[in-house]
Structure 1
Amino acid sequence: MSDTEPHARPDSAGSARPRPQYGEYASPEEQRARIQQPAPEWQQPVTPAAPVVTEAADAGIHPAQPTASAPSVGAPVRPRMVDRVVTISLLLYGLFNVVTSFPSFLDYGAYAETMFAVLGLDVTLSDPAAGRPYGIAAAIVLALGWLATAAVSVWSLRRGRLTWWIPLAAGILFTFVTGVLMAIPLMSDPAVVAALLGTTGG
């Protein structure tokens, strides 16, 4: 056998294979190292990324700036609690006013005498029964007004809105309406009008 003939070389499995004519077979360690680091001719060239930001800026398009973090969703507890307490207190006061006003509204004669005493008038209604329908109407308006105010206030409180002004404004409104209703019979009575004019003229 000549020197140029390949000689058998046992591999890692113990089997013999022909010796290469030129060079040597790579060992398993060399093969693994070769696989992990490929030859330069097999490496694909990395193309630089296109200047997207620069082109977008030239076109007048600017990247979105990071927005400020949103404030905490939870509202301050103390203002809500104060608003709730004030609202409930005003509703309770309105309910007390409605309940205590019913007797005087339903007894218009007693209401008229009280008003004459406050105004300092020495006069009597010509027809006390004529004022009873107005007293009943005033009581109904006051009761329905309080119920509507309470419903709107509860609806507003459940949505976390400022509510204390609702019963306050409603109380002023319905007190004015009932006052007008209760004053109509007084201002329609000739004796009361004469007494008022006499007091004003004197």
Structure 2
Amino acid sequence: MSDPRPAPRYGEYATPEEQRAAIREPAPGPAPAASAPHRPAQTAPATTVAAQPTRLADRIITMILLGYGLLTVLTAIPQILDFTAFAQTWMDAVGVDGEFTNTDQGRTWGMVGAIVFGIGWLITAALSWLSLVKRRVTWWIPLVGAIVTFGIVSACLVVPLLGDSAVAAHFGAA
């Protein structure tokens, strides 16, 4: 004898209690006690290497930017350590008539600028490395590091330049 009804689908004839038991879901009831700790939902990490993004282009761009930054720092440090020559070149380029005479302050601030350049690159490289290890998008870290470092170094170099009488006279501060 054939049954005219369609065959039941999985769990179709199970009672709600049997369904919950099969999927190990607790029965509905009162809310959990207030003393029970609340655990926020967490995203499961990728379980296989294939499921983790490699971001090869990001890694290549990051390394190129860090390499360019290192080259820039290594060539800029000797220039700003000889601050008198650096300042005179800058004054000639800007069109300031005169000779740079604020050499003591220039030597001090040139040294500070060189140290900031080196430390800025090291911090940028370390942050980039940590981000690469965590497989995050990293290309922007060397760019932001360069902007921040260059801004601080520029402020250091402006102090002795504006303290020079020829520069002050050129910009009307004297």
Whether 1:52 and 2:29 are equivalent positions in the alignment is no
Q: 1:106/1:54 Cα in 2 relative to 1: closer, same or farther (>3 Å)?
A: closer
Matches within 5 A, 1:1-202: 52-53=15-16, 74-77=51-54, 80-197=55-172
Question: Contact between 2:106 and 2:160, CA under 8 Å: does it hold in 1?
Answer: yes
> Which stretches of structure 1, 4 residues or longer, exceed 3 Å deviation after superposition?
54-57, 70-73
1: CA distance, partners of 2:170 / 2:154:
20
Question: Contact between 2:81 and 2:114, CA under 8 Å: does it hold in 1?
Answer: yes
Shift of 1:51: 6.1
Shift of 1:120: 1.4
Aligned-partner SS, 2:137: coil
2: CA distance, partners of 1:81 / 1:71:
18
Question: Contact between 1:153 and 1:163, CA under 8 Å: does it hold in 2?
Answer: yes
Shift of 1:87: 0.4
1: CA distance, partners of 2:141 / 2:159:
27
Q: 1:51/1:90 Cα in 2 relative to 1: closer, same or farther (>3 Å)?
A: closer
Q: Of the two, which has the highest radius of gyration?
A: 1
Residue ranges of structure 1 left out of the alignment (5+ in a row):
1-49, 62-69
Q: Which residue of 1 aligns with 2:34?
A: none
Residue ranges of structure 2 left out of the alignment (5+ in a row):
1-12, 21-26, 29-44
> Higher relative contact order by CA 8 Å / sep ≥ 6: 1 or 2?
2
**Amino acid in structure 1 at the alignment position of 2:128:** S
Q: 1:51/1:154 Cα in 2 relative to 1: closer, same or farther (>3 Å)?
A: closer
